[in-house]
Structure 1
Amino acid sequence: MKTPIPYYLAQILDKVRPNEGGEVADYIPELATADPDILGVAVCSATGHVYHAGAGEHRFTMQSISKPFVYALALQEFGLAAVREVVGMEPSGEAFNELSLGGDHRPVNPLINAGAIVVNQLIDGVDSTVEDRVETIRSFLSRMAGRELEIDEQVCQSEVDTAERNLSLAHMLRSYGIIQDTAHDAVLSYTKQCSISVDVRDLAVMSATLANGGQQPVTGEMILDADVCRLTLAVMSSCGMYDGAGRWMAEVGIPAKSGVSGGLLGTLPGQLGVATFSPRLNPEGNSVRGEEIFKLLSADMGLHLMSTERRFGVYPIREIEQTAEEAIFYLQGHINFTAAEAVLYELQQDNFRGARLALDFEQVTGFNTIGRRMLKEGLRRFREAGVDVAVIDPRARMTNLEMSDGTMVPVAEPDDYQIAGEGT
């Protein structure tokens, strides 16, 4: 059985594809040539399961999406007190490239260009060369993604050639003693950071690493301290979407970061990372279709951090009883999208080849809409593969048992299964 999650993600893309609002970032020549119709989405669970739909393998440069990760690296290297000496943590209320600083001459947060240039200059210390600093950042981001990432030198050069505003920011920072490098070297180092190339799967995994308290969910490597992830997500939640951050948190409700190449990532702490790519931007510099995708996912999956909907706090499968002919999967807790994904992944990986399969919902406390939908679609796919599927539901938790093809999920009793009857 193939999991229905990629199909669900493809449906989301189909809903937003007709939206052709916004424009590509034409102030950077290389970005101006982007195909505006490219569209992709990826999701990575905290357990390291990656799903995508659309242009999942299309590479693009991180741009400002690199900022929270390099901020996390600086926090990991130097600690919060040292980082706060040169950059604040407050929303700016201004454009990302505004030529302004706070009253103490520090950039107000690390996710606007001035703050990101300062944070970049912290890495490897003030005596680092551009080459060594950039390699430290590239290597760190590669560990976050779980593969070796590369710098798109063509995009980098295009940005350096048109970097007058960032050079102005660097001169201003240097005049107040906030950075020590020459303005040119500071901007070159920062631009190379922004020119690291990724796809939506990479970003989803990197985002899930923040969600997972610093443990890379695919490789298992512990990269960041949990406190560093918490601080980074907190800054993302208030500053990640520039002067649209307040509206974003009200409507979508998850920490996020955008980039002018068209990428957008979001992190639901403890559960998953999500990334999208679509090059058309709104006036705030955020992907138009990307924002729409996140709104749909947030509403469907109940991802809003301020949602009062219950979230599951335990692994959803209690145990599995199985013979060559039949299997019962005992579920527990509240089944939302994340829990349903874990159940479907377990079913897919279990190599179940028997003729009968049942899911026992006796210890399930409830479902949200997407959790119920995912499980019903999974059962339908098993049945199409020739498996006799049913649910054991003595508390009637699985209301509305109609599947997507209009047929009903059969309800069974434990005694209908030999393995349950034997008490194994």
Structure 2
Amino acid sequence: MDTIPLSTLFIALVILLILSAYFSGSETGLLSVNRYRMKFLAEKGHKGAQKTEKLLKKTDLLLSLILICNNLINISASAIATIIGIRLYGDAGVAIATGVLTFFMLIFSEIFPKTIAALYPEKVAFLSSHIITPLSKVFKPLVLLMNLIIKALMKITGLKAETKSHSLSPDELRSIVNQSGQFIPTAHQDMLLSILDLEEVTVEDIMVPRNDIGGIDIDDDWKSIMRQLNHAAHSRFVLYKGSMDENILGILRVREAYRLMLDKNEFTKEMLIRAVDEAYFIPEGTPLNTQLLNFRTNKERIGLIVDEYGDIKGLVTLEDILEEIVGEFTTSTAPSIDDEVTTQSDGSIIIEGSANLRDLNKLFNWHLDTEDARTFNGFILEHLEEIPNEGKICELDGLKITILEVADNMIKQAKVEKL
């Protein structure tokens, strides 16, 4: 070493610092890159992405290779810097070389390259993959030996290597969609988030309540039945005998009833009964994603929700579930949340008691509990545990609620002010 010129040693030291910077930046760039984007680019035929994805499939081997190379380079740089220091300053040169080398390695071989790699992970990863791929073949025996030693040490210490899954949870998918920004239109973001929420929403959350189901009692007089058909607000009716809970005959399509009226000279109750489709029943608590698949499997579009005792709780249609994803259809005859909410000039809000709690939470970014109640009326009654008088004021979940109208044992309308 004494015969090597100082200029050569300095050049070697600079080269080693550059190599150290390369491996430090490569480590950060390869581990910071978006694996899902790499997979997408690799499938499109991008060579750099294909090599990067292959390296990332065995992260432990990749890290071992980079750390082996980086440590060999840093130890060599330290040895050369010590020789230079001794030549220039004698014994004091050891301390001087250690301090100066530490400063330069921190700035130029660690912090700076890792900062650049964190800012441009794809560019760094693509460049590094072309160099590290052949290196991985050269150093493969040494890397495998190191991994065997590490596994043996882990076994001795009782540690277990856990395989990390790179699949995304629903919550992580929500975060990705929310952070997609301009890459995905807002309307599409809302639909994607709604799809992810389907498993958390049950059929009771969106059902038409029992009292609002359009039904025809076959025991009614014929004129009453014809009046209901002629003034039908729905395309389908539940046809039952005596009681909807006890004897449902089926689902009557109004269009089919009209066709029978035109085709037959005499239209009778028996013909009406024969024209119904068999009723399809849905257990309460069924998640929307499950029910959507059930509708498709059973070739159904409408179902009656029943509780554990077999009593009818409500009705849900395929369109209701689709509206949860794409928003309300303009052809819907049911009142929308905008029809049930009126904002006043003083900032207060007039809300109909029948308004859906989930829709209110979405509209105003509230966090009202939907576990025990589905409507705003139910939410208030659940907390008050009594039917209030008109004019009663209460405070619930940060809202000041004034009861405006009560009828038929229900809160019809209330004024809400944010506290």
Of structures 1 and 2, the one scoring higher in RCO (CA 8 A, sep 6+) is 1
Q: Given the two structures, how large is their TM-score scaled by the length of structure 1? A: 0.23
Larger Rg: 2
Structure in which a larger fraction of residues adopt helix: 2
